[in-house]
Amino acid sequence: AQKITQTQPGMFVQEKEAVTLDCTYDTSDPSYGLFWYKQPSSGEMIFLIYQGSYDQQNATEGRYSLNFQKARKSANLVISASQLGDSAMYFCAMREINTGTASKLTFGTGTRLQVTL
Amino acid sequence: GAGVSQSPSNKVTEKGKDVELRCDPISGHTALYWYRQRLGQGLEFLIYFQGNSAPDKSGLPSDRFSAERTGESVSTLTIQRTQQEDSAVYLCASSLGQGLYNSPLHFGNGTRLTVT
């Protein structure tokens, strides 16, 4: 079974609009962390935002926020006021704390976001 | 530099040859990871080091793949008898280490391996 599912292979958004990128996860571990990364066409992986399973508040970092719905096991990334430079692949990833070696991140297949004028 | 450094950035090799990929993590980062990314796909975990031990090698696809790390520094990923399906970008990442569960991975720019 997939641990991280990103169902949107591609998304389009107009500049200055907000966009939500979906991520659902599957774990029986009560302790876990969720990460979002951006990968522009240059190939570098850029860390955007983190949400812990016990965090009471949704994480925010500038124009990025995480819509964390624990009961639904979803951790959607919201980008507000999209910019042309936001065009990239976006990956959701999870770290399970108590399962085996608690360090690797498991990644989803990604969503390609294209920001248009 | 302050980031994760990988070399070479590009490697073209003939099928059947061995290759070594190098990763220099961020200073002070005790954890080091190798991932593989095939064209247009997500990241596939290969191996994780904490210091110079490898508690998780579960992602190595076959015994042709091996990795080592000296101290809390450089790591090399070796692929023996390369096959065409080994063609991919190999990404190295480091983080502050075990127990710091919110610590993100910081990635290098990768080595693009092409097996002809």
Give percent of chain A with pLDDT exceeding 90: 91
Residue A73 and residue A87: Cα distance in Å, rounded? 26
Read off the pLDDT of each residue in A10-19 and give the average, rounded to a whole number: 97
Amino acid A100: pLDDT: 56
Tell me: pLDDT of B1 over 60. Answer: no
Residue B2 contacts A, CB cutoff 8 Å:
no
Read off the pLDDT of each residue in A103-108 and give the average, rounded to a whole number: 91
CA distance to partner chain B, nearest, from residue A82 (Å): 23
pLDDT digits (tens, 9 = 90+) for B22-72: 999 999 899 999 999 999 889 999 999 988 899 889 999 999 999 999 877
Amino acid B102: pLDDT: 86
| B98/A103 Cβ within 8 A | yes
For residue A109, list chain B residues with Cβ-Cβ distance below 8 A.
Answer: 41-42
Amino acid B24: pLDDT: 96
CA distance to partner chain B, nearest, from residue A67 (Å): 17
Residue B20 and residue B64: Cα distance in Å, rounded? 12
**Quick one: tokens of B1?**
């530099």
- Token look-up 């980062």 returns B29
Residue B15 and residue A16: Cα distance in Å, rounded? 48
A78 — pLDDT class (breaks 50, 70, 90): very high
DSSP string, chain B: --S-EEE-SEEEE-TT--EEEEEE--TT--EEEEEEE-TTS-EEEEEEEETTEEEE-TT--STTEEEEE-TTS-EEEEE-S--GGG-EEEEEEEES-TT-TTPPPEE---EEEEE-
Amino acid A90: pLDDT: 98
For residue A30, list chain B residues with Cβ-Cβ distance below 8 A.
Answer: none
**A44: nearest CB among B35, B102, B109:** B109
pLDDT digits (tens, 9 = 90+) for B72-105: 799 999 999 999 999 999 999 999 876 678 889 9
Strand (E) or helix (H) holding A97: none
Amino acid B81: pLDDT: 98
Tell me: pLDDT of A2 over 90. Answer: no
Of A26, A28, A22, A25, nearest to A10 (Cα)?
A22
Amino acid B32: pLDDT: 94
Tell me: pLDDT of A36 over 90. Answer: yes
Q: Which of A5, A103, A105, A107 to mutate to test the interface with B (most CBs of B within 10 A)?
A: A103
Amino acid A79: pLDDT: 98
Amino acid B2: pLDDT: 82
pLDDT digits (tens, 9 = 90+) for A81-102: 999 999 999 999 999 988 655 5
